[in-house]
């Protein structure tokens, strides 16, 4: 996964977003944070990718994960 760009779409008050960030820290995943509260111009980008308005949305090299889906994250990132 090191060769793929990872983007996390998030908001400051999202509990599940915080869980994803902790998961990424534990698994040493490098990622770009898109804080939709500050980067409102990127909301449509997230919706176009995921079809969802809720966060977190993770774009892992084009694979889209909506929510804190630990089994999917493990399949992509766990060692």
Nearest to 75 by CA among 62, 60, 54: 60
Name the phi and psi angles at 74, rounded to 5: -60, -40
Tokens at 48, concatenated: 């176009």
The ranges assigned to domains in the chain are 6-77
CATH 3.40.30.10 fits 6-77, yes or no: yes
**Per-residue pLDDT at 3:** 66
d(CA 22, CA 4): 19
Low-confidence ranges of the chain (pLDDT < 50): none
Gyration radius (Cα) of the chain, Å: 12
**Per-residue pLDDT at 19:** 97
């Amino acid at each position: 996964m090191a060769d793929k760009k990872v983007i996390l779409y998030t908001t400051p008050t999202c509990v599940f977003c915080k869980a994803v960030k902790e998961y990424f820290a534990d698994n040493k995943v490098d990622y770009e944070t898109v804080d939709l509260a500050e980067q409102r111009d990127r909301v449509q980008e997230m919706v176009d990718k995921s079809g969802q308005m809720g966060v977190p949305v993770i774009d892992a090299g084009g694979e889209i994960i909506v929510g804190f889906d630990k089994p999917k994250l493990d399949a992509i990132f766990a060692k």
